[in-house]
A and B are shown apart, each in its own frame.
Chain A
Amino acid sequence: MDKKKTAIIDGNEAAAYIAHKTNEVCAIYPITPSSNMGEWADEWSAQGRKNLWGTVPTVVEMQSEGGAAGAVHGALQTGALTTTFTASQGLLLMIPNMYKIAGELTSTVFHVSARSLACQGLSIFGDHSDIMSIRQTGFAMLGASSVQEVMDMALIAQAATLESRVPFLHFFDGFRTSHEVQKMEILSDDQIRAMLPDDLIVAHRNRGMTPDRPIMRGTAQNPDVYFQGRETVNPFYNKCPGIVQSIMDRFAKVAGRSYHLFDYHGAPDADRVIVLMGSGAETVFETVNALNKAGAKVGVVRVRLYRPFCGKCFLASLPKSVKSIAVLDRTKEPGSAGEPLYQDVLTVLGEGLVEGTLPFPMPKIIGGRYGLSSKEFTPAMVKAVFDELGKAKSKNHFTVGINDDVSHTSLDLDPSFIIEPDSVVRAMFFGLGADGTVGANKNSIKIIGEETDMYAQGYFVYDSKKAGSRTVSHLRFGPDPIHSPYLIQSSNFIGCHQFVFLDQVDVLKYAKPGATFLLNSSPFKPEEAWDRLPRKVQQDIIAKKLKCYAIDGSRVALDAGMGSRVNTIMQTCFFAISGVLPREEAIDKIKIAIKKTYGRKGEEIVKKNYKAVDMTLENLREIAVPAAATSTRELPPVVPTRAPAFVKDVTATIMAGLGDDLPVSRMPVDGTFPTATTQWEKRNISLFVPVWDAELCIQCGNCALVCPHSCVRAKIVEPAAVASAPAGFPSVEWKDKQNPGKKYVLSVSIEDCTGCALCVEVCPRKSKEQVGRKAINMSEKEPIWDAGKAHWDFFLSLPEADRGTLDFGSIRDVQFAQPLFEFSGACTGCGETPYVKILSQLFGDRAVISNATGCSSIYGGNLPTTPWAQNADGRGPTWSNSLFEDNAEFGMGYRLTFDKHREFACELLAQLRDEVGGELADALIAAPQATEQQIAAQRARVAQLKAKLAGKTDWRATHLASIADNLVKRSVWILGGDGWAYDIGYGGLDHVLASGRNVNALVLDTEVYSNTGGQASKSTPRGAVAKFAAGGKPAGKKDLGMMAMCYGNIYIARISLGANPRHALQAFLEAEAYEGPSLILAYSHCIAHGINMQKGFDQQKLAVQSGHWMLYRYNPDLAAKGQNPLSIDSKPPSIPVKTYAYSETRYKMLTLSKPEEADRLIRLAQADVDHRWRLYQQWATPAPAPAPQAADAAPQA
């Protein structure tokens, strides 16, 4: 046997390792949590890493999972060893091809990090809903329950599919296993080769299609033979379990790890047994050990080969002593007789009973659900199930892990049942995403796992915000393999890397008595730390007898040149005080790890980190803990008392990190949630906020226009309105000769501001005396906090502008339109959200949003809060997300409803003309609704109509009242990113645009899949580096606008808020006014571009100046007037593409890794721009009217 080689990797990498070694072709598409597998494969191939047979696998990204499955199918049919990686909805999109692949007995393995399906809500987290949806396709299903098993089962599946010809789905739990980092043994090439006989690979190839031996597959069959053909595969499925077991046996000889189709573990004479699969089996394994040690007789059957389900093998795996069985499913099938695994078990036992082949008396069998969407599955829950089995009357179809106070399915459990062994060091770290805590912890795991004999495990929990997100790291280290795939419940070490967390979450909740507590005391010195703690935290420290240490980590980070990243500092503290390793040895190892991690980023980065390590040790202090709490500061409430009841009861609970405690009764039954809730979530993530200089301001509105989080707002009010303003509330004369005597006020929601400083960047006004000072400037928040809060509250109390008086084509006026999209969780300085906010300002009170899955659906619709807001009348955008791929169709469905209901309403109005009144009926049907005043008038008419219909018993009146609101113009907006519009949703978008229906598609074009971490889309420009285009995108960017232009009846605009905001406004207005389909392509700078986000709008300008992002509008209404519908609205390219591109890391990085290729691609990119410019010039000749210019009342910054 080879010498064992260990590594610290996660489940995704383990699967990708085997897949890349054992395949020739990978067709992929990103979807969480499986994206990383494709990314690994792509990166390895880009680096030239070869497979087992010495060739570099071809990795190709497709436009959707459906496309990936098609490509896989084709590659398989022509004989290549082919694989793919996916999860959730992606797996569902593969189903049609999976039937084909299985029906044709084709050898392949699909690696799936199992994830929830979108039902009442989407979830990226793990359960078996997706894999259970394909159990009927004919794929064999082999499950892994730990990171080690992922590598092992991936290989066993590969060997089994070649021998059995049955295609395999290899699955493991999304996030819990796919993202858990574990120390595990790596299979060597020799071991892998020993499992894959060459003759089977050749046989697979020989079944491939070739014109040298022509065959045909995929015939159409009739009633006479289809059925028989379907039954031909039975012998293959019958043999499959035996083949898998023989391969497992061979694997045991090769690798030393023994597996069975069903692995029983526990007391040989157990009376109670749990049956389950996936990572939860590890928890049951660990709990069975603990319970049996305490005298119980329990056991667990771990299902490995779920399909084909070998009933005989299952029965043989159970101890003959079994009296009761609980089958746990990590999925839910509403309306079924029971979840799938339960039904399988029941069927096998039932058949055994009927056939008389049961090796034991028929046991009691109950089924239950657990762990949906990565819901924690703990030893206490396992014990609750065993306890339930032990009852005379056990609850069937139960749930465990939640409080179901509606259907009363849930089992009671004892949360104090904790079995964390003393031999395992458990450490939890609370950090910010931006402070590098997770990265440092991954490093710590590597240090301990690689440099010592200890086993190590790491799991990381993130919140759903993209700016200022909070992370919690769970690390375990111990002398034995760790079988605890659940969050730490009792921690020896708690690290709190941000002082502010102490006010927001109960960081000491899981501290074991006597544990060590490490606090980054910044902005306070360690000596001040104790006095600054909230009283509750002090009390917990004293009660739990915690040993406390503190360091002014942010100060040390600044002094060491680390900026805001306290990661290395806090990691060093952990090693210095945790005792996991001897201190000196640990510090040496940290430095070695730093060299490994940062070495390729330059020596300076390494030195800077070394310096941080040394400075840390000098600045770490132990805090003396007094006998009694001294603080008088109580924890602040999560939301103010004036918040709505639902927000206080439900939203606030989730915000406080206590969502697990919410019972079923508190959840909406159909996934419907109130909007306008981000206003209650004051996250205070920025230490610096903008401050307005009223005297210097020219009131242009640029700052309010671009604020991605709608924190900067302006109003014009009567002077009397500010008479009662709180002290220091700034206001100034409104500079408008037409409308004198008013006050202009501008206010900043400093508690919601993320500190991006885009407002300062776009401010055109500079002080004459000190040109570095603008009319809005960043300032430290702490000194102005209280006043700023009071000012904002007062500002909100001032009346909103009368929309009828505003010119929405003017930046100066749009600043007064209330944003109905506010305080989202988007990235600091996000390039997308300013467009979304503008949409909400212009049309929000009648907007209906269909949102493709992606960044915009996450910052727009991820619990606990939503930024989509409401005006004082309670009107605002109504929002939903269907899927990633069907967004355009979903939005078109809205339009169909509104058009139908308007038509029906008009028909009913005609029928009820006498009752309603002829004049009102005619106006309701025919009155124009082009302006805000006209829309307001129509709303008034609808109100009048409803009043007249009230109390009428005629069925027509009832129906008319129910649809009368549709007589007011609806604004349908289909939002999404380029991944949706250019790739997965393109077919649908194309169809919807071609339909001629009055919908507006807004493509927030970041030129990359931003939400899943920067994978290339067809919008990605040539030469840019992205995941799946690690060597630079070789092909040019798809010209979606031009493709749509070919229809002739679609309004299209290509806009850039940074380059020409007035043009952008004009495009929104024209698109919405156009009585047909509209498409707006909005350049959105993005964190995935590798830019300083504060300069996002400068990058937008460069993109336009270089011609990369040409501005234009294509208005079919002009064609109807005999004019050229296309107007090019930006000037001819004035700078080389290179000048723009190399100011962004996505392009620049290729010059550092492949300079020659970078040079070649940037030249081609320049040629693309030149060609496109010439082509558009031809289309735009003769030219229509001139474009609106950037300048409004003021010059643009």
Chain B
Amino acid sequence: MDLSTTYLGLKLKNPIVPSASPLSQRVEDLRKIEDAGAAAVVMFSIFEEQLHHDAEALDHLMTAGNDSFAEALSYFPETGSYQVGPDQYLDLIHKAAAAVKIPVIGSLNGMSNEGWIDYAKKIEEAGAHALELNTYYIATDPNLTGSDVETLYLDVVRAVKAAVKIPVAVKLSPFFSSMANMARRLDQAGADGLVLFNRFYQPDFDLNEMEVLSDLKLSTPYEMRLPLRWIAILHGHLEASLAATTGVHGGIDAAKCILAGADAVQVCSALLKGGVGQLRTILKELETWMAEKEYESVAQMKGAMSQKSVANPAAFERANYIRILEDYKTKYVVS
């Protein structure tokens, strides 16, 4: 059985790729990921804003009180070099690229155009095989139009593409008025792949402390429906690769994504819950399913249930919504 696929121009032994997560923070863990069967790995994201904040916080906290009092002109030793900014991350990429045979994909969230370009170059120089742009922009300014926001995304992709030679994927949020159009424009801007979709921290309220909480819950398999739909819709319309992410918990989920048209399937919550060994389970489930359905290769599956390929393309559109409601009525409403 041939599980190989091509994603971002990279030949992968199978379509399963752990997405950006805390699992990629140590080289030894990356080795475990490779051993468990991952075809590539997306490193955890570095956030330009976070790096700025950390650098400033470190500078502030290490020098607070300095040169103020004759007996204590500083409070910390000068220990020479600190790995501040992206140094630790780049070092990890460098080590990871040497330690594993699978492609290592860097992940970056920038804040400024300059930051995007600068860090992208550094990630490339560190030895990453590809780069995933972890883009999100919460447009809170009422004066900013949707089109302004879209331009921001497109500018970043163009700038980064111009700056690096390695393939560049864009991990997107689903919150565009015209997702399909946005996908095409990103494709035209040079994106080598689209990763659908990003999840964000969504605020919650702590009603005991009356404070706003920010935390990220692991995904549920149901959440896969959104990327599944959009991959099915976009498949065949773009030159860019497509990767599914969010809600892929098992081999069957992966099969669905591939059938919708995904070139790669990213997994995260399943590994955080079940451990890296879960990769083996997912691959085994995928192979079992393919065997049962007599698929010989991933290539054969890819897009088989995309909007272009299914009998009822409207199933991905509005009619779908109506049918669910109808089902609901017939199933639960006692009349």
A and B interact = yes
- CB pair A1153–B81 under 8 Å, yes or no, is yes
B79 within 8 A of A: yes
Residue A469 CB within 8 A of the other chain: yes
Q: Of the candidates A43, A179, A466, which one forms a contact with B65 in the assembled complex, judged by CB atoms under 8 Å apart?
A: A466
The segment from B56-64, B146-154, B318-326, B327-335 found at the interface with A is B56-64
What 0/1 pattern do residues 43 to 54 of A give for CB contact below 8 A with B? 100110000000
What's the minimum C-beta distance from A975 to chain B, rounded to whole angstroms?
A: 18
Chain B min CB distance to A677 (Å)? 20
A46 & B76 in contact (Cβ 8 Å cutoff): no
Distance, CA A33 to CA B71, complexed state (A): 7
A318: Cβ under 8 A from any B Cβ? no
Q: In the complex, which residues 737-779 of chain A have their Cβ closer than 8 Å to any Cβ of chain B? A: 766, 771
Residue of B nearest to A1088 (CB): B75
Other-chain contact of B68, A47, A466, A1155 (Cβ < 8 Å): A466
Determine the chain B residues whose CB is within 8 A of the CB of A1152 once the complex forms. Answer: 58, 82-84, 88
Q: Give the residues in chain A near B239, CB-CB below 8 Å.
A: none
Contact indicator per residue, chain A 211-239, by CB within 8 Å of chain B (1) or not (0): 00000000000000000000000000000
Q: Does B79 lie within 8 Å of A1030, measured CB to CB?
A: yes
Contact with B along A424-435 (1 / 0, CB 8 A): 000000001110
Chain B residues near A604: list those with CB within 8 A. Answer: 51-52, 55-56, 85
Is A1025 touching B79 in the complex (CB atoms < 8 A)? Answer: yes
Q: Are A462 and B84 in contact (CB under 8 A)?
A: no
Which of B56, B59, B80 interacts with A47 by CB under 8 Å? B80
| B214 interfacial contact with A, CB 8 Å | no
Q: Does A471 contact B (CB under 8 A)?
A: yes
Q: Are B61 and A1090 in contact (CB under 8 A)?
A: yes
Is A912 close to B, CB under 8 A? no
Interface contact B67-A439, CB-CB below 8 Å: yes
Instruction: Return the chain B residue nearest A467 by Cβ.
Output: B68
Contact flag A433-B80 (CB < 8 Å), given A605-B59, A1145-B61, A1149-B58: no
Q: From residue 39 to 65 of chain B, which have CB atoms closer than 8 A to chain A?
A: 51-52, 54-56, 58-65
Indicate whether B210 reaches chain A with its CB closer than 8 angstroms.
Answer: yes
Cα–Cα distance between A1025 and B84 once the two chains are bound (Å):
17
A1028 nearest in chain B by CB position: B77
CA distance A1093 to B79 in the complex (A): 23
Separation in Å of the B177 CB from the closest CB of chain A?
33
B314 contacts A by Cβ under 8 Å: no
Does residue A500 face the partner (Cβ distance < 8 Å to B)? no
Question: With A43-B79, A563-B60, A1153-B80 known to touch, is A32 a contact of B74 (CB < 8 Å)?
Answer: no
B292 partner residues in chain A, CB cutoff 8 A: none
A-facing mask of B223-243, CB < 8 A → 1, else 0?
A: 000000000000000000000
Instruction: Assess whether B62 is in contact with A1153, with CB atoms less than 8 Å apart.
Output: no
**Residues in B whose Cβ lies below 8 Å from that of A766:** 210
The answer for the CA separation of A124 and B71 in the assembled complex, in Å, is: 8
Residues of A within 8 A of B62 (CB): 1090, 1145, 1149
B220 close to A (CB within 8 Å):
no
B70 within 8 A of A: yes
Contact, CB under 8 Å: B77 / A1026 = yes
B78 within 8 A of partner (CB): yes
- Closest Cβ of chain B to A1064, distance in Å, is 22
Could you tell me the distance between the alpha carbons of A39 and B211 in the complex, rounded to whole angstroms?
Answer: 44
**Across the two chains, which residue of chain B brings its CB closest to A858?**
B71
Say yes or no for B73: interface residue by CB 8 A criterion: yes
Choose the segment among A523-531, A657-665, A936-944, A1007-1015 that binds chain B (4+ C-beta atoms closer than 8 Å): A1007-1015
Q: Which of A602-646 contact B (CB under 8 A)?
A: 602-605, 608
A677 to B80 Cα, complex, angstroms = 44
* A604-B48 Cα distance, complex, nearest whole Å: 10
B105 to chain A, nearest CB (A): 22
Contact A462 B68 (CB under 8 A): yes
* A1028–B78 alpha-carbon span in the complex (Å): 11
Within the assembled complex, what's the spacing in Å between the Cα atoms of A1113 and B272? 41
- What B residues does A36 contact at CB under 8 A? 73
Nearest A-chain residue to B60, judged by Cβ: A563
Q: How far is the CA of A1013 from the CA of B67 in the complex (A)?
A: 10
B79 and A1155 form a contact (CB under 8 A):
no
> Measured between alpha carbons, how far is A1090 from B75 in the docked complex, in Å?
8
CA distance A608 to B60 in the complex (A): 13
A1031 to B66, CA, bound (A): 21
Give chain B residues whose Cβ lies under 8 Å from the Cβ of A1014.
72, 74-76
- List the B side residues contacting A601 at CB < 8 Å: 55, 58-59, 82, 84
Q: Say how far A446's CB is from chain B's closest CB, in angstroms.
A: 15
Is A175 interfacial (CB 8 A cutoff)? yes
- Minimum distance in angstroms from A29 CB to a CB of chain B: 14
Q: Kindly identify, within residues 969 to 1020 of chain A, every residue whose CB is under 8 Å from any CB belonging to chain B.
A: 1010-1014
When distances are taken between beta carbons in the complex, the residues of chain A under 8 Å from B73 are: 36, 438, 1013
Query: Could you tell me the distance in whole angstroms from the C-beta of A134 to the nearest C-beta in chain B?
Result: 23
A766 and B211 CA atoms in complex are apart in Å by 10
Q: How far is the CA of A858 from the CA of B63 in the complex (A)?
A: 21
- Residue B201 at the A interface, CB < 8 A? no
Partner of B77, one of A436, A563, A1025, A1145: A1025
Nearest CB of chain B from residue A46's CB, rounded to whole Å: 6
Q: Is A591 interfacial (CB 8 A cutoff)?
A: no
Known A175-B70, A433-B67, A433-B69: A1092·B61 in contact at CB below 8 Å: yes
Identify the closest chain A residue to B205 (Cβ). A771
Q: How far is the CB of A789 from chain B (nearest CB, A)?
A: 27
Q: How far is the CA of A43 from the CA of B85 in the complex (A)?
A: 23
Write the chain B residue with the least CB distance to A40.
B78
Task: Tell me whether A1013 and B58 are in contact (CB under 8 A).
Answer: no
Does A460 have its Cβ within 8 Å of any Cβ on chain B? yes
Q: How far is the CB of A681 from chain B (nearest CB, A)?
A: 17
Which of B56, B63, B88 makes the CB contact (< 8 A) with A1155?
B88
Of the listed residues B51, B52, B60, B67, the one surrounded by the most CB atoms of chain A closer than 10 A to its CB is B67
* In contact, A602 and B59 (Cβ under 8 angstroms): yes
Pick the most buried of B51, B58, B65, B211: most chain A CB atoms within 10 A of its CB. B65
Q: List the B residue with the shortest CB-CB distance to A1014.
A: B75
Q: Are A1013 and B75 in contact (CB under 8 A)?
A: yes
Does B67 contact A1012, Cβ atoms closer than 8 Å? Answer: no
Complex CA–CA separation, A1153 to B58 (angstroms) = 12
CA distance A1027 to B54 in the complex (A): 22
Q: Give chain A nearest CB distance to B253 CB in angstroms.
A: 32
Q: How far is the CB of B95 from chain A (nearest CB, A)?
A: 12
Partner of A1027, one of B55, B64, B77, B81: B77
Q: Which residue of A lies closest to B81 (CB)?
A: A600
Give complex CA distance A47, B58 in Å: 20
A816 to chain B, nearest CB (A): 28
Q: Is the CB of B75 within 8 A of A1149?
A: no
User: What A residues does B79 contact at CB under 8 A?
Assistant: 43, 46-47, 1025, 1030-1031, 1149, 1153
Residues of B near A603 (CB, < 8 A) are 55, 85
Q: Assess whether A434 is in contact with B68, with CB atoms less than 8 Å apart.
A: yes
Answer whether residue A417 sits at the interface, using C-beta atoms and an 8 A cutoff: no
- Chain B's nearest CB lies how many Å from the CB of A612? 13
Output the least CB separation between A38 and chain B (Å): 11
Q: Which residues of A contact B (CB under 8 A)?
A: 32-33, 35-36, 39, 42-43, 46-47, 124, 175, 179, 432-434, 436-439, 460, 462, 464-466, 469, 471, 563, 598, 600-605, 608, 766, 771, 827, 858, 1010-1014, 1025-1028, 1030-1031, 1087-1088, 1090-1093, 1145-1146, 1148-1149, 1152-1153, 1155
The 4 closest A-B pairs by CB, nearest first: A433-B68, A602-B55, A1013-B72, A438-B67
Can you pick out 21 interface pairs between chain A and chain B where the beta carbons lie within 8 Å of each other?
A33-B70, A35-B71, A179-B70, A434-B64, A462-B67, A462-B69, A471-B68, A600-B81, A601-B59, A602-B55, A603-B85, A1012-B72, A1014-B74, A1026-B76, A1088-B72, A1091-B61, A1092-B61, A1145-B58, A1149-B76, A1149-B79, A1152-B83
Interface residues of B (CB under 8 A from A): 51-52, 54-56, 58-85, 88, 210-211
Known: A601-B84, A827-B65, A1013-B74. 14 other contacts (CB 8 A): A33-B71, A42-B77, A124-B70, A433-B68, A434-B64, A439-B66, A598-B59, A602-B54, A602-B55, A1012-B71, A1013-B71, A1014-B74, A1087-B75, A1090-B61
